[in-house]
Structure 1
Amino acid sequence: MYGFYFFNFTYFWIMVPALIVTMIAQSRVNSTFAKYSRVRTMNQITGEEAAERVARFGGVNRIFIKRVAGNLTDNFDPRNDTISLSESVYSSVSISAVGVAAHEAGHAIQNAEGYFPNKIRAALVPVTNFGSHLSMPLIIIGLILPVQYDFIVYAGIILYSLVVLFQLVTLPVEFNASSRAIRALNDAGILYPDELEGAKKVLRAAAMTYLAASFTALLTLLRFVLIAGNRRGRR
């Protein structure tokens, strides 16, 4: 019975558009990153060096930078002040590498300055992890059980709402990190103006993936609400 609820009409007019938007965003970031990965910076600065210089320029005096496996697996861990750069970024002297590395350094600057949206995002991590693991099982179990157990479905929806909230809070954090990165790359003279335009395009494309994730999360939440409401109407 729960299969009907998950593959009813809402799947086609809600989830299909979300899937298309996600695919477009991912394709855009991959193609843009690949394009500017072939363009070397005039200063021949690597991703590692760019991350360190941007962080120092932003007033971060204690930062660790390491190489990690994978492609576009770059991240900043505030727990140990570590910027992890992927293999395609760490030692590359391309505009893409410098842009991505500078973005992660932007997160390090946010953390050092106590950027408020970043604090909210960090506070949401534990509850978001909890919600992401339990929301779907609760929703599925609630749909299998008789209608009088609808409270289980709604409990799952509430938990999934935490995931949506986390995605929405992530947006200003990511946009701000990119803004800090571009400003530092310019003001510190790390990139020339035409190179800076390339870095902006790389980071804009990356921003689309966060927008797509938020869009998908919101539509998924809407779908769950509609499924629950439709189930209640079948009483």
Structure 2
Amino acid sequence: MFFSPFLFWDPYFWLILVGLAITMWASWNVKSTFNRYATLPSHNNITGKEAAKLILEDAGIFDVTIQETSGELTDFYNPSDKTLNLSEPVYNSSSIAAICVAAHEAGHAIQDAKAYIPMSFRSKLVPIVNFGANLSMPLIILGVVLSFNQVLIRAGILCFALTLLFQIVTLPVEFNASNRALKKVKMLGIINQNEYPAGRKVLFAAALTYVAAALSTFLQLLRLILLFADNDRN
């Protein structure tokens, strides 16, 4: 969450509250959706690990290691060391929710293998975004201290905007991975026609968390722009 020295007296703080409400709802929604279908076993009793393995082998990918990681909904694919990390409720579970989450991460591995452009672009953005995120607040504070120096303030806002750019680029990466996952689990018979709607709901709920994050960051950025535009006019 991005806070500023104007936390208690700017008229646009409500934008942060709206963003917080959106992200909290998205987090609750994905957890409740996952938990609902985590109790619904698949017809063929395939675990999340086995589903991911089948998908990767079908795509001709044999250099990715599938391993278990601690936590809940902490699943991720790491392109740097070619590891597909599945959380404890996914790795050994044969539920529809577990299978689809594992398939989604396998979708990221396929993107990596096929050099999917948005994914490659996102990876290149990471160091730039991290640098900008660390620099944005100090620049804005310094700009305020130096009698509202607009050059420093605008530079800080621009650095913060890099976070929004990263999250926007993330959206097609995540939606594409989910589309690949749903196609694969259906084509390979990992889930059947009756189970497909449940799997789609799980992955859609997960995708909404990325949309919510982008919306929240946009509202924070809008607040900064409006706040300092007002100060500039005054």
> What TM-score does the superposition give when structure 1 sets the normalisation length?
0.94
Does 2:52 align with 1:51? Answer: yes
Task: Report the 3-state secondary structure (helix = DSSP H, G, I; strand = E; otherwise coil) of the residue aligned with 1:10.
Answer: coil
More helix per residue: 1 or 2?
A: 1
State the number of aligned residues.
231
Deviation at 1:24, TM superposition (A): 1.3
Task: Report the 3-state secondary structure (helix = DSSP H, G, I; strand = E; otherwise coil) of the residue aligned with 1:24.
Answer: helix
Alpha carbons of structure 1 residues 131 and 19: separation in structure 2 relative to 1, 3 Å: same
2:98 and 2:190 map into 1 onto residues whose CA distance is: 13
The Cα RMSD (Å) is: 1.4
Alpha carbons of structure 1 residues 6 and 152: separation in structure 2 relative to 1, 3 Å: farther
Once the two structures are superposed, the pairs formed by residues 13-162 of structure 1 within 5 Å of their partners are: 14-147=15-148, 149-162=149-162
Deviation at 1:6, TM superposition (A): 6.1
8 Å CA contact 1:52–1:63 kept in 2: the answer is no
> What TM-score does the superposition give when structure 2 sets the normalisation length?
0.94
Task: Report the 3-state secondary structure (helix = DSSP H, G, I; strand = E; otherwise coil) of the residue aligned with 2:6.
Answer: helix
8 Å CA contact 2:68–2:91 kept in 1: the answer is yes
Gaps of 5+ in 2: none
Task: Report the 3-state secondary structure (helix = DSSP H, G, I; strand = E; otherwise coil) of the residue aligned with 1:59.
Answer: coil
1:87 and 1:129 map into 2 onto residues whose CA distance is: 29
CA deviation string 1:160-207 (max 9, x = no partner): 111110000000000000000000000011111111211110000001
What residue is the counterpart of 1:177 in the other structure?
177
AA aligned opposite 1:10: Y
CA deviation string 1:31-68 (max 9, x = no partner): 10000011111111111111111122223222101111
2:13 and 2:37 map into 1 onto residues whose CA distance is: 37
AA aligned opposite 1:116: I
Gaps of 5+ in 1: none
